[in-house]
């Protein structure tokens, strides 16, 4: 069973400790949550999620991301095309 820190009515972050050892960090004000292997990682991930929520995240250039990940547009995986791209 997961456990949680005391609820803070004034805002802030609530930490939920999962049975598998991961930690979920939830922003009280927005309800946005993210998780990590420990509190520090959960907070870093929550910061990124809040940036995206508030529209402050940097836009992603799909070509640059594809290059960084080594993706080739014409290359199909073992599953073939996704169902929406038939």
Give the pLDDT confidence of 3-47 residue by residue, as tens digits: 555 555 557 999 999 999 999 999 999 999 999 999 999 999 999
Domain positions in the chain are 3-70
Least trusted range by pLDDT, from 11-15, 46-50, 61-65: 61-65
Q: Output the pLDDT for position 77.
A: 64
Beta bridge partners of 36: 23
Residue 50 near residue 42, CB atoms below 8 Å: no
d(CA 42, CA 85): 34
Q: Output the pLDDT for position 2.
A: 55
| Model confidence at 53: pLDDT above 80 | yes
Q: Output the pLDDT for position 7.
A: 53
pTM of the predicted model as reported, rounded to 2 decimal places: 0.58
């Amino acid at each position: 069973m997961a456990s949680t820190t005391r609820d803070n009515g004034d805002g802030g972050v609530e930490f939920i400790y999962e049975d598998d050892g991961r930690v979920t960090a939830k922003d009280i004000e927005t309800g946005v949550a993210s998780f990590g292997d420990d509190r520090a990682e959960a907070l870093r991930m929550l910061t990124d999620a809040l940036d995206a929520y508030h529209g402050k995240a940097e836009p992603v250039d799909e070509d640059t991301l594809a290059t960084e990940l080594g993706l080739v547009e014409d290359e199909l995986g073992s599953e073939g095309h996704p169902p929406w791209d038939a």
